[in-house]
Structure 1
Amino acid sequence: MRIAVLSDTHLGHRRFYAESFAQLESSLKTALAHNPDIIIHPGDMFDNTSPSLDSLNRAYSIFSKFSNSGVPIYAIAGNHEKLPRDMANPVEFLGATGCFNYLHNTCKLVGEVAFVGMNYLPEDKAKDALELIIEREKDALSSAKKRVLVIHQNIKDYAPGEGLTKKWLNSLPFDLILNGHIHKRIYEWPIILPGSTLTTKINEEEVLPRGITVIDLASSSVEFKEIEQKPFFYKVLEFDDGKEEEIREAILSLYSSIKGEKPDAIIKIKLKGSTASEKTYISLPRMKDLYVDNDLVYKKLEKAVEEWKASLSEKKDIIEASNEELVKELSKKMENAEEFLSMLYTMEAEDIVKELLREEQVNKEVAAK
């Protein structure tokens, strides 16, 4: 059996609304071009629990067009679609129209292969729920020639946070496990993570091309197939006491260079290093498909804070004030960097820190009562 998998399409995405539908259509077209026996969508079909009518209509039109191909499509819901148990999530709602099959909490036999699906569940409930489904469907699973599990959970071997483990998943009675949720492509048979068809977080990890995964169950072979998409570029610009005009020109030059070669490119530029003045914000004209992540700092201010914290550590009565949270709180009280700098070298700073500590202690005492 050949299985095509496309996941985390995030239809109706706020930033990439039109692209989400275009890349769903491209994914389904690419899938059919590789002669699958079945198409699987392991969750996060939509970007939120309440898609607009336009999003639902577009999704219905696309899935309906491809459902007439004769290749069955099965889908589950992910964490982005999770609703209370007594409410139909958008994947269940759309599946009820017949444009694809809703696989949650059931076992479906396609040929001689059993497919078990489970929607996203909070990490502390997922394991028990899955074990209950397996126990309930044990007869169908034991009679099938091959068994495939479709889930949408975090796997803590691959991503931070709580989640299922590879060891536990590998102990389950399945020949193949398809998992959505994690946008990285990871192929570690029998666990397959197809990644997302859409660039959503515009960070360095998402530079890789988007696409689908095609699996031959008999030979355990896995292939990535790229889809049509807007190219995504992630670039870093570093400065040492850079002037605002210099930084602005560097951004505009890089943007023009990329757009000259790839007019439809999405561009993320990360600014690192330091500025020559206290103004770290860089004003830019509005530019299509440009996103700037500004991590620039003003060295003079940063150095002054460190010196002040060092001086505080020598005074036992206010040593606690050297922690970062209090420094942040103190800086919020200043109208600008110059005022903060001048204040750092006066006794007034110690008085303010003492007051902050006193307020913190009072708050703790009130909370305790």
Structure 2
Amino acid sequence: MNPFRFIHVADLHLDSKFIGMKGLSDHIRQHLRESTFNALRQLIEIAIVEKVDFIVVSGDVYDAADSSLRAHLAIQAAFEELGRHGIHIYVIHGNHDPLDGPRLQIRNDDHVHVFGPEVESVIARRRLDQQEVAVVSGISYPTSKVTENMALKFHRDEKLSLFHIGILHANVDGDLIHETYSPCTRKELEASGYDYWALGHIHMRRVIQEYPHIVYAGNIQGRSVKEIGPKGCYVVDVSEVASVQLTFHELDQVRWLIEKISIDGIHDIDEWRMRVEEQVESIRSQLPDRMSIVRWIITGRSSIHRELESGHIAEELEQELRRREIVRAEKDQFGGLVWSESMSLQSGIEIDRAELILEDHFLGELLRLADKIEADTDLSKELLDKALSPLMNNREIRLLVNESTAEEKQEWLERAGELGAVLLLNEIGEGGRSV
């Protein structure tokens, strides 16, 4: 077979909003809004420079609920530019941009194929010599909530000895963080006989399997702290013997990070402040060409924990760090900008845990229970459900709980344990070890 090269990209979410941001200046807010469009421009540049034969887009070009005319015009302009370079595009619609959504249509031009609500297959050709190289099959979401297993509709055409690519927006093997739309299993995808599955919907980039390749490209721009790390697309090289080589290219203009700052060995607030500032500068030097948004996780044990727990020190530092970045942004210095999204206190007081956990008082029992919870996820869930049950009639709390991840809920338990330990240690200090 003839070798060829294509790009696998998914979940562009053009003009989509960032979540959980506060304290932004208008200048920074505008930069964030531009980020998905800038990522799209990067995608076009890579496609041209890498001389790819075609691009597959695995759904969610934009969010239909609040899609803008600008997003529509941007994707049309991008496709037109790719067409001028002879690069074909194969597109499916996902749950955020379904076929029945309130949106403008992506045109089916000569070099653009938009798949409909049933599986279709088209022949992809090499850009330079028009040799047939692949069968590309895809299916779009007719509505925003597709709960049937659409993977079962794909079947390899054995009459065609070409590389087979399936484009699908789906939840494979029940990813709990995302909605279970078009649920399917790795085994079902493998059984279809396709050589490469270009998946969308899950925003975390990962290769589920090789030969056949089952691949999530992730999204092109992270939009919340749940979408950390590099975002981009895969350039896929297919050889004469159908071997596959994946090369990841970063497209994101704004990078989300979670950074841990330990208070171990620190007994002065000013020393802690300097450690945070040093980490800000370290991130700035590591990512000089893009903006970073950081959630700081304060860990470790030290005497300054009580000050951080009871006062506004962390909040004041957070505000000062933001003020400095706003000044940089006013000078259009977005490269290397480090924005502090929030500070999460997961540190603790200094205790002799090994000694306290053996003692016969309520604090010892609390520490023993904490160890059990950490080792037993079922016990952790049971305890959390019991604690939250009286509060679930409150709509805002119910929404917060339903939208929170298992890791965030575990953090709640850990913080509750630390607060309990502080209170109990105060009691022990005042009344001896009779607690």
- Normalising by structure 2, we get a TM-score of 0.60
Contact 2:261 2:298 in 1 (8 A): yes
- What is residue 401 of structure 2 aligned with on the other side? none
Residue number among 6, 26, 38 corresponding to 2:54 in the alignment: 38
Query: Quick check: 1:200 aligned with 2:214?
Result: no
- What is residue 266 of structure 1 aligned with on the other side? 292
Residue number among 47, 65, 68 corresponding to 2:81 in the alignment: 65
Q: What percentage of residue pairs aligned between the two structures are identical?
A: 17
Aligned to 1:56, what secondary structure does the other structure show?
helix
- What is residue 27 of structure 1 aligned with on the other side? 43
- What is residue 93 of structure 1 aligned with on the other side? 105
Residue number among 202, 207, 232 corresponding to 1:210 in the alignment: 232
Query: Quick check: 1:7 aligned with 2:14?
Result: no
- What is residue 153 of structure 1 aligned with on the other side? 170
Structure-2 change in CA distance of 1:292 and 1:60 (3 Å): same
Query: Quick check: 1:188 aligned with 2:188?
Result: no
Query: Quick check: 1:276 aligned with 2:288?
Result: no
Counterparts of 1:3 and 1:324, CA distance in 2: 47
Structure-2 change in CA distance of 1:8 and 1:293 (3 Å): same
Pairing 1:104-183 to 2, within 5 Å after superposition? 104=116, 105=118, 106-111=120-125, 112=132, 113-120=134-141, 125-127=147-149, 129-131=150-152, 133-134=153-154, 141-146=157-162, 147-156=164-173, 163-182=183-202, 183=204
Counterparts of 1:166 and 1:224, CA distance in 2: 22
Aligned to 1:81, what secondary structure does the other structure show?
coil
Deviation at 1:35, TM superposition (A): 2.8
Contact 1:10 1:45 in 2 (8 A): yes
Aligned to 2:73, what secondary structure does the other structure show?
helix
Deviations 1:197-244 (A, max 9, x none): 2233445x7434634322316432223142455474542112258766
- What is residue 328 of structure 2 aligned with on the other side? none
Contact 2:222 2:254 in 1 (8 A): no
Contact 1:123 1:164 in 2 (8 A): no
Structure-2 change in CA distance of 1:31 and 1:225 (3 Å): farther
Pairing 1:224-239 to 2, within 5 Å after superposition? 224-227=247-250, 229-230=252-253, 232=255, 234-239=258-263
Deviations 1:139-158 (A, max 9, x none): xx344332321101111287
Letter in 1 for 2:135: A
Deviation at 1:10, TM superposition (A): 2.2
Aligned to 2:106, what secondary structure does the other structure show?
helix
- What is residue 278 of structure 2 aligned with on the other side? 253
Aligned to 1:23, what secondary structure does the other structure show?
helix
Aligned to 1:39, what secondary structure does the other structure show?
strand
Contact 1:194 1:212 in 2 (8 A): yes
Aligned to 1:108, what secondary structure does the other structure show?
strand
Counterparts of 1:52 and 1:93, CA distance in 2: 12
Structure-2 change in CA distance of 1:52 and 1:245 (3 Å): farther
Counterparts of 1:46 and 1:309, CA distance in 2: 52
Letter in 1 for 2:235: T
Counterparts of 1:208 and 1:298, CA distance in 2: 27
Counterparts of 1:28 and 1:269, CA distance in 2: 31
Over aligned residues, Cα RMSD in angstroms?
4.2
Counterparts of 2:111 and 2:44, CA distance in 1: 13
Greater displacement, 158-167 / 283-292: 158-167
Gaps of 5+ in 1: 314-321, 346-369
- What is residue 332 of structure 2 aligned with on the other side? none
Aligned length: 317
Aligned to 1:73, what secondary structure does the other structure show?
strand
Pairing 1:347-358 to 2, within 5 Å after superposition? none
Counterparts of 1:23 and 1:166, CA distance in 2: 30
Aligned to 1:253, what secondary structure does the other structure show?
helix
Structure-2 change in CA distance of 1:323 and 1:264 (3 Å): closer
- What is residue 114 of structure 2 aligned with on the other side? 102
Structure-2 change in CA distance of 1:98 and 1:199 (3 Å): farther
Aligned to 1:125, what secondary structure does the other structure show?
coil
Counterparts of 2:271 and 2:146, CA distance in 1: 51
Aligned to 1:282, what secondary structure does the other structure show?
helix
- What is residue 75 of structure 1 aligned with on the other side? 91
Gaps of 5+ in 2: 19-31, 126-131, 326-336, 354-361, 370-381, 395-418, 428-435
- Normalising by structure 1, we get a TM-score of 0.69
Deviation at 1:263, TM superposition (A): 6.0
Deviations 1:87-121 (A, max 9, x none): 2464x712357773212332223354322112358
Aligned to 2:259, what secondary structure does the other structure show?
strand
Greater displacement, 115-124 / 32-41: 115-124
Counterparts of 2:200 and 2:55, CA distance in 1: 14
Contact 2:58 2:199 in 1 (8 A): yes
Counterparts of 1:263 and 1:108, CA distance in 2: 39
Contact 1:117 1:149 in 2 (8 A): yes
